[in-house]
């Protein structure tokens, strides 16, 4: 089911990447929404290693979203993994019309034990490739985990969550509890039993996500 005349209505998707900045992982969504406008901010370009302000990354990202809004109007914000966490913090911005969160990394660090994220060697390489200090990143990431719930709780946007039940590093139950505590009446969660955090690489999961997203957007137009 593909919504029609999307560009004429000014509909835009702003997609936040995961730990790996690979915009191709969203291509199947582009295919499902032919004619819509897609924007892919590079979140790592907005990271500041030198600032003593630990919230500067989010400030820079929100400023970028304001600029996008000035150009295209209200939009749908899509976040995957790390991008899902950041998108959640931005969910209460008044121009975010819809928010779609795919395997948001809400429990990648133990906040109680204050451990570093369970970052793999490949993810660490991705940070280095983008000239981001691992120590600074993990400190900022820990702070982000204390911000995302307020962003969602204060949001009036229509919400759609996709969560893989078979995930270990991103706790499904933590996301489910958060979802249950949201008072937003326009929310929906889709749980995919066999999927993990890499659901954007799984063909069955991608088919489910594209189909449900098409209905979600069509219903809210």
For 69-85, write each residue's pLDDT tens digit: 999 999 999 999 899 99
* H helix or E strand, kind and range, residue 97: strand 96-102
Which tens digits make up the pLDDT trace of 100-137? 999 888 865 444 444 445 566 667 788 888 899 888 88
| Residue 48 or 168, more confident | 48
Which residue segments constitute the domains of the chain, with CATH numbers given?
7-220 (3.40.50.1820)
Give the bridge partners for 37, in sequence order.
12
Which of 56, 24, 55 has the alpha carbon at shortest distance from 40? 24
Give the bridge partners for 101, in sequence order.
79, 161
Angstrom distances, CA of residue 75 to CA of 65, 156, 165: 10, 13, 28
User: Per this entry, what is the length of the chain?
Assistant: 221
The pLDDT of residue 119: 62
For the question of whether the overall pTM of this predicted structure is more than 0.85, the answer is yes
185 falls in which pLDDT band (50, 70, 90)? very high
- Asked if pLDDT for residue 5 goes beyond 70, the answer is no
8 falls in which pLDDT band (50, 70, 90)? very low
Which of 108, 90, 106, 100 has the alpha carbon at shortest distance from 190? 100
């Amino acid at each position: 089911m593909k919504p029609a005349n999307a560009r004429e209505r000014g509909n835009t998707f702003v997609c936040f990447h995961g730990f790996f900045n690979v915009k191709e992982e969203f291509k199947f969504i582009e295919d499902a929404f032919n004619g819509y406008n897609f924007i892919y901010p590079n979140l790592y370009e907005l990271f500041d290693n030198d600032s003593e302000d630990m919230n500067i990354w989010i400030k820079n990202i929100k400023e970028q979203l304001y600029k996008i809004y000035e150009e295209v109007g209200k939009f749908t914000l899509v976040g995957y993994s790390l991008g899902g966490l950041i998108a959640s913090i931005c969910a209460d911005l008044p121009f975010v019309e819809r928010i779609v969160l795919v395997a948001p990394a809400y429990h990648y660090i133990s906040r109680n034990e204050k451990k570093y994220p369970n970052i793999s060697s490949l993810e660490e390489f991705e940070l280095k490739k983008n000239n981001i200090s691992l120590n600074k990143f993990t400190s900022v990431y820990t702070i982000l985990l204390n911000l995302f719930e307020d962003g969602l709780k204060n949001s009036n946007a229509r919400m759609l969550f996709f969560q893989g039940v078979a995930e270990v590093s991103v706790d499904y139950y933590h996301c489910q509890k958060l979802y249950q505590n949201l008072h937003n009446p326009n929310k929906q969660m889709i749980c995919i039993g066999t999927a993990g955090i890499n659901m954007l690489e799984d063909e069955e999961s991608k088919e489910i996500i594209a189909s449900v997203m098409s209905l979600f957007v069509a219903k809210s137009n």
